[in-house]
Chain A
Amino acid sequence: MEAEKGKTHKYLRERRPVPKEVTEQLKVFTKTKKSILNALKEGDKTIPQLSEVLNMPKEEVMFQLMSLLKYGFVETGEIDDMDEYFYYKVKDNGKDKS
């Protein structure tokens, strides 16, 4: 079968099933992304604050938040009064259409 250019993922999907862990991983990320962005929409937060609100370990919040920063969903705000933790906010022109 000759695969159509621009639709070759369909060609591979027939030959290589996507492992369950991979779809599971995507679900977790999408869920985490949503919860972080929703929490930030209610106000700028630091990582310890997000961790408390979301009941998620700080290192997990850190990793996911930094990834969202890299992907352009979040931006860095001011640093707190103790010069320890930065506040993070949803990027104004957020590409998040969810």
Chain B
Amino acid sequence: MPEQKETLEYDVLVVGGGIAGGESALNLANIGYKVLLLEKELTIGGKMILLSKVFPTLDCAACITTPKVSEISRHPNITIFTSTVAKKINKIAEHRFEAVILKKPRYVNVPDCTGCQLCEEACPVSVTDQYQYGLVGRKAAYIPFSIASPRAAAIDIDNCTLCGACERACPTKCIDFTQTEEEYLVKVKSVVVATGFNLFDPLKIPRYGFGKFKNVITSMQMERQLAPTRPFNTILRPGDGKMPDNIAYVLCTGSRDKTVGNPICSQICCMYSIKQAQLLMGALPMADITIYYLHIRAFGKGFNEFYAQAQDMGVEFVKGKVGKITENEDGNLILRYEDIESGVVKEAEHDMVVLSVGVLPNMEISETFENKNLELDPFNFVGQPDILASPAKTSIEGVFVAGTASGPMDIPDSILSGGAASAETTSYLRRASL
């Protein structure tokens, strides 16, 4: 049984500490509202903090995220709970919500941790690093990544041998294995849902060989390889450490595909693949990059110019649907695809394949609402009943949605959406005092 803690009171509960939830929390806090920000991971910053650069400006993602994340972390009106999920949320009356939240133990007393990483050095265990999407190992006592916030250690208790090496190494004695799960009752006046999205799992398309062929990776794994906090010293094939020189991208992996249950466009894959292609040409000047696409959807501001820039740089675009990927003995991959322009089935060899995985809804949050129904749209994203007039409104008055929880979108749109959610939340809260 989790330990029952005291009741907490805030003006707004923001569920999800990614860029959209963070933006909402920051705006609300700046107006003067007290905000409780929940994050299920060990660090806030969501998926954006893990990215290399952003399209179409090629600005460094970490350089945009980290100042914002520090501002959120230091804001006197924002309380952040990491490793915490909302278990239930009930609407008692207008401007009265009650939530039960569950905080998992980190086994580290965060304020005392200096982030010195001596525990990490001392820990003998090595397991797969989820923050590097499985490309490399990490210790059981670890800091998620160097720009994590809070930049504090955590113990992966499921893989810990309880040897005590970390505790002996810790200069501030901040490691505490007596921590337990804590449950809090939270009373708030309004809720912002910013629970983001899940990435498509390409294991669901076995003909692409992901998991079996080690040189078939996801776009998020490539993103990590290109990021400043990358796992390797350069771009390498996970299958054998070879520096690739002929990389293929397979667009629409898990998007616009009824066979995997996701018929819609993920809106970001064309552009992030074009971005990665440009970054790869910088990192591996001799490499050939081919993008297999159905349609290039370069719909945003500056997107088409960015696409043209990639073409000018020599990225090859092939309008083709990839049917199957097979592996050669040397680890190279054969892509069998339909060349849509000529209508002919062709084969091409590449030494590394990146699957541009799509955006899937994160549905868990709708089950959290107990006495009211948080309606989802036909694709299981949070429904927006008044999408034109009040895009942040949900089926529950006083609950607002921010970012990709409502559907696939890019970073600027997520931040805009976070802003919209904070504005509509403010307007709802002000009505309480009228």
Interface set of A (CB-CB < 8 Å, partner B): 3, 5-13, 16, 18, 22-23, 25-26, 29-30, 33, 46-48, 51, 58-59, 61-67, 69-72, 76, 79, 83-86, 95
Which of B28-36, B92-100, B161-169 lies at the interface with chain A?
A: B161-169
**Interface pairs A-B: 3 shortest CB-CB:** A67-B137, A47-B241, A12-B177
Stretch at the interface among B63-71, B230-238, B266-274: B230-238
Range, interface on chain B: 35 or more
Whether, in the assembled complex, B126 has its beta carbon less than 8 Å from a beta carbon of chain A, the answer is yes
Cβ–Cβ contact B241 & A9, under 8 A = no
A3 touches B177 (CB 8 A): yes
- For A83, what are the chain B residues with a Cβ–Cβ distance below 8 Å? 243, 286
Given the known inter-chain contacts A8-B176, A9-B167, please indicate yes or no for A71 contacting B240, CB distance below 8 A: no
CB–CB A29/B170 < 8 A: no
Chain B residues positioned under 8 Å from A95 (CB to CB): 121
CB interface residues, B 136-167, toward A, < 8 Å: 136-139, 157-164, 166-167
B340 within 8 A of A: no
Q: Are B136 and A8 in contact (CB under 8 A)?
A: no
CB distance from A69 to the nearest CB of B (A): 8
Residues in chain B near residue A84, CB distance under 8 A: 242-243
Are B124 and A62 interface neighbours, CB within 8 A? Answer: no
Contact: A5 with B127, CB < 8 Å?
no
| Contact flags B101-125 to A (C-beta < 8 A → 1, else 0) | 0000000000000000000010011
Complex contact A47–B240 (CB within 8 A): yes
Say yes or no for B74: interface residue by CB 8 A criterion.
Answer: no
Looking at chain A's contact residues, is the secondary structure mostly helix, strand, loop, or mixed?
Answer: helix
Enumerate B70-95 residues with CB–CB distance to A below 8 Å: none
With A13-B162, A64-B137 in contact, is A58–B126 under 8 Å at CB? no
Quick check: is B178 within 8 A (CB to CB) of the other chain? yes
Q: Point out the residues of chain B lying under 8 angstroms from A66, CB to CB.
A: 135-137, 231-232, 241
Interface of B is mostly: loop
Q: Can you pick out 25 interface pairs between chain A and chain B where the beta carbons lie within 8 Å of each other?
A: A3-B178, A5-B173, A6-B167, A6-B175, A8-B178, A16-B162, A18-B161, A22-B158, A23-B161, A25-B127, A25-B159, A26-B125, A26-B161, A29-B125, A48-B241, A51-B240, A58-B241, A62-B214, A62-B236, A64-B137, A67-B138, A70-B138, A85-B240, A85-B242, A86-B241
Tell whether A11 pairs with B173 under 8 Å between CB atoms, given A18-B160, A30-B124, A63-B137.
no
Report how far A66 CA is from B150 CA in the complex, Å.
26
B261 on interface, CB distance cutoff 8 Å: no
With a CB–CB cut-off of 8 A, which chain B residues contact A5? 173, 176
Q: Which of A62, A64, A79 contacts B238 (CB 8 A)?
A: A62
A70 vs B162: C-alpha distance when bound (angstroms): 22
Which residues from A are CB-within-8-Å of B241?
46-48, 58, 61-62, 65-66, 85-86
Q: Whole-angstrom distance between the alpha carbons of A85 and B355 in the complex?
A: 23
Determine the chain A residues whose CB is within 8 A of the CB of B163 once the complex forms. Answer: 9
Contact A70 B127 (CB under 8 A): no
On chain B, the residues within 8 Å of A22 by CB distance are: 125, 158-161
Contacts of A18 in B (CB 8 A): 160-162
Q: Does B412 contact A (CB under 8 A)?
A: no
Given contacts A6-B167, A10-B164, A23-B161, contact A67 B240 (CB under 8 A): no
A11: chain B residues within 8 A (beta carbon):
177-178
Q: A12-B177, A22-B161, A30-B124 are in contact. Are A70 and B136 (CB under 8 A)?
A: yes
Question: Which B residues, 208 to 257, have Cβ-Cβ distances below 8 Å to chain A?
Answer: 214, 231-233, 236-243
A66, B236: Cα distance in complex, Å: 10
Select from chain B the residue with minimum beta-carbon distance to A23: B161
A25 CB contacts on chain B under 8 angstroms: 125, 127, 159
- Assess whether B238 is in contact with A59, with CB atoms less than 8 Å apart: yes
Give the docked Cα–Cα distance between A25 and B139 (Å).
12
Asked if B161 and A76 make an inter-chain contact with CB atoms under 8 angstroms apart, the answer reads no
Q: How far is the CA of A13 from the CA of B160 in the complex (A)?
A: 10
Kindly list chain A residues whose C-beta atoms are within 8 Å of the C-beta of B170. 6
- Taking a contact as CB atoms under 8 Å apart, the answer to whether B239 and A59 are in contact is yes
Residue of chain A at shortest CB distance from B233? A76
Taking a contact as CB atoms closer than 8 A, the residue among B135, B158, B177, B243 that contacts A9 in the complex is B177
Question: Most chain-A Cβ atoms within 10 A of its Cβ — which of B138, B162, B331?
Answer: B162
Residues from chain A with Cβ under 8 Å of B232 in the complex: 66, 69
* A67 partner residues in chain B, CB cutoff 8 A: 126, 136-138
With A11-B177, A95-B121 already in contact, the answer to whether A59 and B240 are too (CB < 8 A) is yes
